[in-house]
Amino acid sequence: MCDYSLCGLPNRLAVENEDLVVHRFSTGSMGLASMADLRECKRLKEAAPKKSFWQRVKDFVEQADPYANAPAICIPPGAQLTVRNIPETLQKRFRLMPEETAVFTQITSEFNRYRDAIRFHGDCEVRLQDLREGMPVRVLSLADASEWVPPAVTVDSLA
């Protein structure tokens, strides 16, 4: 649903037909965020009162994340997704098209391990950590979501 690395962040369950994006959260981990939530975070940041010079310097030094309050979106295993803008390296490696339908899955039940992944046709699984930031994902259906299913072929890294 949500990798252990995102547990300290605000989170919520995905909604069918929701547009998401692969996002690097303040923890450094990749996860899914709602496009609408990210836009709202940016709007609130821009609407905030003007900061003093020293507050702006502090934000610059700390590299303040305008999306820090965006919740991580949790998706149950078995949910149907459409993944867009699949990188050419993935397309070639797994014979994928730029846009593919996929199933959200978890590749392990081990504690403190990245487990969230996307399963494409041919039982090819790619961890969310190995996807590129900014890739659009649409939640097609949560109806087929079920308990964890043992993994098929796992891709550990896209090096």
CA distance 21 to 38: 9
Residues with Cβ within 8 Å of residue 109, at least 6 apart in sequence: 115, 148
Q: Residue 147 pairs with which residues in a beta bridge?
A: none
Cβ atoms of 50 and 116 within 8 Å: the answer is no
Q: Binning pLDDT at 50, 70 and 90, where does residue 138 land?
A: very high
Domain chopping of the chain, boundaries:
4-35+70-155
106-136 residue pLDDT tens: 887 777 778 899 999 888 999 999 999 999 9
Cβ atoms of 26 and 8 within 8 Å: the answer is no
36-71 residue pLDDT tens: 998 887 777 777 678 788 887 887 776 666 667 789
Structure tokens at 84: 């867009």
DSSP classification of residue 65 = -
Cβ atoms of 35 and 134 within 8 Å: the answer is no
Q: Residue 125 pairs with which residues in a beta bridge?
A: 119, 154
